[in-house]
Amino acid sequence: MAPSKKITVQEAREWVLNTLKTFDRTDLAKLDEVLSGSGVDEFIDTFRPSPPSPPKKTARPKKVIVPDAPYNASCCEARADKKEPGGFRINCQCTNRRPGDNNLCPTHQKKMGSKKGLELGLYTEDRPEKWADGSLIIWSDSPDEVKAGIKKKEKRKVTCSHCGVVGHTKKTCPQLKAIKEKKVEEKVEEKVEEKVEEKVEEKVEEKVETITGVNSSGEEFAVEVHTPLESDFEPEPEPAPLPSTDSQETAPLSDNGELSYDCESDEEADASSPIKFEGVPYELDADGVAVYDDDGDHVGNWDGEKIDFLNASWRKSHEINKKKDDGEDTEEPLLDTLDWRALKKKAKELGVDPDKIEEASDLEGTDRTHKIISFIQEKM
């Protein structure tokens, strides 16, 4: 077997030692035959050192905590927060090493900077007997009377918020469960009764009377009269007619006999007032808030001093109209840079057929923009 490409110095040293120790030096002629033959690789490989066996992992010994052990100057000076199996604290020093010149390890340095600080203090100082809130600290060597005075927290008992019984919650309350089952049964019974009432035909009781007599020719006759018996059922009264909302029914006649209409209130409700903002005319709605341009488009809202435009497009249109009113020469923007509202307004100003504008409006995306631009270019 050919050797690996790389071996360690230790492996090479052992290989040479194995060769020198195990080779038969009395038969050198045999060595020449082996080295010049075809089995030289197998011969050399017989002296290969056996790989070292991996070291066995041993369990890490557990640290034994010794209460009140002597102070170790190489370890952290803080008192460790350790407990015995019974849950009482052991008076011992932190075993972490000191980092540099600091007398505390990183863990206790962090605790030192917190709000609580080192609650158990330093190991070089007297151990505290009480916590910060005044409660007693129970140490492992505290008297048995003190340890016995500590009661374990009792498990909180669950109380039902519906019936007030201890031991279950509202979700598993047997009373609520019984009520739900009863409601389900009542609903099933109601549905069954409704179906039965629909199938059973109502029978109306009648009173039959026979009337006898003699007619003008002297012949006797008998007539049966069927009269339905009175029941407790009373028909619901017909609803009162709603007052008419037609203005023509109550409109008074004029002198020439024609109907007259009072539209003053409608006109007052829909009346708008003209305003000017930075020299540009607009229409203020009757509500005193909405602002419309000459085309009737809602461009913004009036706050009492200025117009709060709905978007940047209406603001840009306002600036263009403002410059026109000031007599300034404004550069005509490229059609590709205008949005759909501006293109539609441009088309109306140039006299584009409304049907063509409607045709372009039915398209979507860039097709709509390209179509109306073509109609505008025909007019320019």
- What integer pLDDT is reported at residue 228 of this predicted model? 65
pLDDT band for position 248 (cuts 50, 70, 90): very low
Q: Token pair 């048995």 is at which residue? A: 144
- What integer pLDDT is reported at residue 238 of this predicted model? 58
- What integer pLDDT is reported at residue 263 of this predicted model? 45
Query: For a pLDDT cut of 70, what percent of the chain falls above it?
Result: 77
- What integer pLDDT is reported at residue 105 of this predicted model? 92
Contact criterion met (CB below 8 Å) for 91 and 126: no
Average pLDDT over residues 131-142: 85
- What integer pLDDT is reported at residue 267 of this predicted model? 47
- What integer pLDDT is reported at residue 348 of this predicted model? 86
Between 340-349 and 365-379, two packed helices, what is the crossing angle to 10 degrees? 20
CA 62 to chain centre: 48
pLDDT band for position 249 (cuts 50, 70, 90): very low
Task: Output the average pLDDT for the chain.
Answer: 76
- The CA distances from residue 302 to 217, 288, 305, 315, 321, in Å, are 98, 7, 7, 14, 18
pLDDT by residue (tens digit) across 20-44? 777 776 666 677 777 777 777 777 7
- What integer pLDDT is reported at residue 235 of this predicted model? 53
pLDDT by residue (tens digit) across 41-92? 777 777 777 776 777 777 777 777 888 889 888 889 999 888 888 888 888 9
pLDDT by residue (tens digit) across 280-325? 888 888 888 888 887 788 889 988 888 888 888 888 888 888 877 6
pLDDT by residue (tens digit) across 203-219? 555 667 777 777 767 77
DSSP characters over 159-192: B-TTT--BT--STT-HHHHHHHHHHHHHHHHHHH
- What integer pLDDT is reported at residue 102 of this predicted model? 86
pLDDT at 201 over 60: no
Kindly tell me the sign of the dihedral angle through the C-alpha atoms of 121, 123, 125, 127.
positive
pLDDT band for position 240 (cuts 50, 70, 90): low
- What integer pLDDT is reported at residue 253 of this predicted model? 47
Among the listed ranges 124-133, 173-182, 233-242, 347-356, which one has the minimum average pLDDT value? 233-242
- CB-count burial class (<10 Å; 0-12, 13-18, 19+) for 292: middle
Contacts of 77 (CB under 8 A, 6+ apart): 93, 94, 98, 103, 104, 122, 123, 124
β-partners of residue 82 are 90
- What integer pLDDT is reported at residue 361 of this predicted model? 84
- What integer pLDDT is reported at residue 3 of this predicted model? 52
pLDDT by residue (tens digit) across 327-360? 555 556 677 777 878 888 888 888 888 888 888 8
